[in-house]
Structure 1
């Protein structure tokens, strides 16, 4: 069984692994493999070329088209040999690339034979990839996929990891990407819906079952940004994106709950506190996490930084004065873990009193 790594661990693995070693990521579709790899390597100044092997029907899609080349030998005799025109993606400028072989275990056997030489010698039809190039493959895993068995010799040429991004990593990304708050809050409250059907195994159409995944929730967010009042048609459209079960749970959440987010609390403190004052402990735990997540990812101007720092101090004072000990302990424990580094930096720079106060609380725990 492959070792499991999260998004942050994947980035660390990419940093540690020499370019001469190949990496294979195992995981479901829609969890962000290609997006994360592209973002990471582009930040390193490297071009990422994604080849969807499951959609290729001929090795020429990878190695290029054959052509006959004539030449004269030392005796003046004309000889002919076959050469291959480099495919569209081949780096003729000599700069290293990242070759992302997606859907490796959905490829035809003849495609896999072409990949064998590529993964071992970094060659395609005699043409060598520039030094420093990397080969990374992704495979789907699960009974719902039509898969091709991979040759053990091919598998042995990869370092293999099961890629499983955490819910917290997705939520941080979602806040930074500006996804609709209703989607973010729903997944925070119901994390089992992020990557599946939360145990609902009812099947209506063989091969056409729709279930939730991370890519689908981004689509829901794009839709919801234009929606204030949820109507029946919205329910149907969302069900077509994430499946009926996830859609019903999401709509129910969006209609029933007046959610206060970390952004609301820190930028609209006076308007939100009447609701927050009535919170139970589990609701404070959700709000506390949302505060850290907002400070971790938000891009604030100077006025907003000042306002957020002021309101953060007021919130901590509210928890302390009103003897919300468990809620304050929860906030302090999140602070102590250090997961949200940028949020802590915000406190150090903009809310020093809060930072010092939390450190005192940590010492008393």
Structure 2
């Protein structure tokens, strides 16, 4: 299922507070962006126990129960996980990954809030969640009857929301600092091949592993951990970032002239990381209109052109990354800066020669 409108993790609790208490909700989103943890946190905020049922691990009888004879008549006994006396949050995780028979068994529970003779206690909420077929995850088509029984909410990954949470959740400082500089690396679309990819969940896993190893983690171990949890590009950039932290070697030192671009072959990943960070700084701080720029922005533009010359002398390919257009061919850096770069670089190169 596709949707042009989505909510962030910070916006979701408010939506659930007004919708899930009156109608069942289905939460769509890519793997690893926090759907399950957000539902559990929402249930906790209401003072409700969260009972999770995984659609991929259920058979129809796990929901409707098994028949038993009572006073000469048969009736279905609902499972103890569902049949509770106190209100609770029933979380149907991976609902759209379950078989058609299991999805049918959910119909009365979702629409009528009952299974056989058992009815959910007043004050209970029902929330389902699942991945989209476009996420290369296990997802089966949902029947129109089931779709029409749910309010559908689409969740998107939000770096600002995640970083706000991570700052109080004990996330490793390296992970926090890296994603504060590169929030666009929090999440990437699932690949079509079987390989790790970056999500809030995978960054959390990397954080836990780093905490487990402690400060003595070696560069090779860090490489194993990063490439085992993140997309290859993000893992390489994160490893380079840790090098800058450990060696007190960062972009600020390069901008101030206190250090040059790293030129050793073994520091190629570090050079690429610094160049990408340099590009992000230029995108963030250079104004679209040159005349509206502050003195600091003008100084950055002047220094930036000189640094591009120095970078090109080490690697023309990486220097081109700094000024490259986006995937659609649109300039990322301000047009006036690109014009000045093309005009002034030959003069700067000649002056250095």
Q: Same fold (TM over 0.5)?
A: yes
Q: Which one of the candidate residues 52, 55, 67 is aligned to 1:53?
A: 55
Q: Which residue is equivalent to 2:177? A: 185
Change (3 A) 1:174 1:97: same
Q: Which residue is equivalent to 1:170? A: 162
Q: Which residue is equivalent to 2:325? A: none
Q: Tell me if the contact between 1:4 and 1:162 (Cα under 8 Å) persists in the aligned partners.
A: yes
Q: Which residue is equivalent to 2:65? A: 64
Q: Which residue is equivalent to 1:82? A: 75
Q: Tell me if the contact between 1:197 and 1:245 (Cα under 8 Å) persists in the aligned partners.
A: no
Alpha-carbon distance between aligned partners in 2 of 1:277 and 1:237, rounded to the nearest angstrom = 31
Alpha-carbon distance between aligned partners in 1 of 2:137 and 2:242, rounded to the nearest angstrom = 32
Q: Which one of the candidate residues 76, 79, 99 is aligned to 2:90?
A: 99
Alpha-carbon distance between aligned partners in 1 of 2:34 and 2:247, rounded to the nearest angstrom = 27
Q: Which residue is equivalent to 1:320? A: none
TM-score (normalizing by structure 2): 0.66
Q: Which residue is equivalent to 2:201? A: 215
Superimposed CA distance per residue, residues 55-108 of structure 1 (whole angstroms, 9 cap, x where no aligned partner) = 22x112223333222x2xxxxxxx332331x31322532x21111111111001
Alpha-carbon distance between aligned partners in 2 of 1:65 and 1:202, rounded to the nearest angstrom = 41
3-state SS of the aligned residue for 1:138? Answer: strand
Q: Tell me if the contact between 2:131 and 2:138 (Cα under 8 Å) persists in the aligned partners.
A: no
Q: Tell me if the contact between 1:91 and 1:130 (Cα under 8 Å) persists in the aligned partners.
A: no
Alpha-carbon distance between aligned partners in 2 of 1:29 and 1:211, rounded to the nearest angstrom = 10
Q: Which residue is equivalent to 2:343? A: none
Change (3 A) 1:202 1:44: closer
Q: Which residue is equivalent to 2:272? A: none
Q: Which residue is equivalent to 2:126? A: 135
Does 2:43 align with 1:41?
yes
- Identify unmatched segments of 5+ residues in structure 2: 258-277, 285-294, 299-353
Does 2:147 align with 1:155?
yes
Superimposed CA distance per residue, residues 286-345 of structure 1 (whole angstroms, 9 cap, x where no aligned partner) = 9xxxxxxxxxxxxxxxxxxxxxxxxxxxxxxxxxxxx8699xxxxxxxxxxxxxxxxxxx
Change (3 A) 1:184 1:285: farther
Alpha-carbon distance between aligned partners in 1 of 2:247 and 2:51, rounded to the nearest angstrom = 41
Alpha-carbon distance between aligned partners in 2 of 1:18 and 1:152, rounded to the nearest angstrom = 20
Superimposed CA distance per residue, residues 242-301 of structure 1 (whole angstroms, 9 cap, x where no aligned partner) = 2433321211111125699xxxxxxxxxxxxx9799599976999xxxxxxxxxxxxxxx
Q: Tell me if the contact between 2:65 and 2:76 (Cα under 8 Å) persists in the aligned partners.
A: no
Q: Which moved more, 1:128-137 or 1:59-68?
A: 59-68
Does 2:112 align with 1:121?
yes
Superimposed CA distance per residue, residues 182-234 of structure 1 (whole angstroms, 9 cap, x where no aligned partner) = 11122222223212269xx684xxxx322121111111111223134532133
3-state SS of the aligned residue for 2:91? Answer: strand
TM-score (normalizing by structure 1): 0.64
Trace 1:269-348 onto structure 2 (pairs within 5 A): 278=256
Superimposed CA distance per residue, residues 140-176 of structure 1 (whole angstroms, 9 cap, x where no aligned partner) = 0143123211111110111111111311001111111
Across the aligned residues of Structure 1 and Structure 2, the Cα RMSD in angstroms comes to: 3.3
Change (3 A) 1:45 1:67: same
Change (3 A) 1:324 1:246: closer
Superimposed CA distance per residue, residues 14-60 of structure 1 (whole angstroms, 9 cap, x where no aligned partner) = 2222623111111011111111121122122111111110222x112
Q: Which residue is equivalent to 2:229? A: 241
Alpha-carbon distance between aligned partners in 1 of 2:61 and 2:26, rounded to the nearest angstrom = 23
3-state SS of the aligned residue for 1:153? Answer: helix
Alpha-carbon distance between aligned partners in 2 of 1:153 and 1:65, rounded to the nearest angstrom = 25
3-state SS of the aligned residue for 1:25? Answer: strand
Question: Matched residue pairs, number?
Answer: 264
3-state SS of the aligned residue for 1:165? Answer: coil
Alpha-carbon distance between aligned partners in 2 of 1:186 and 1:245, rounded to the nearest angstrom = 14
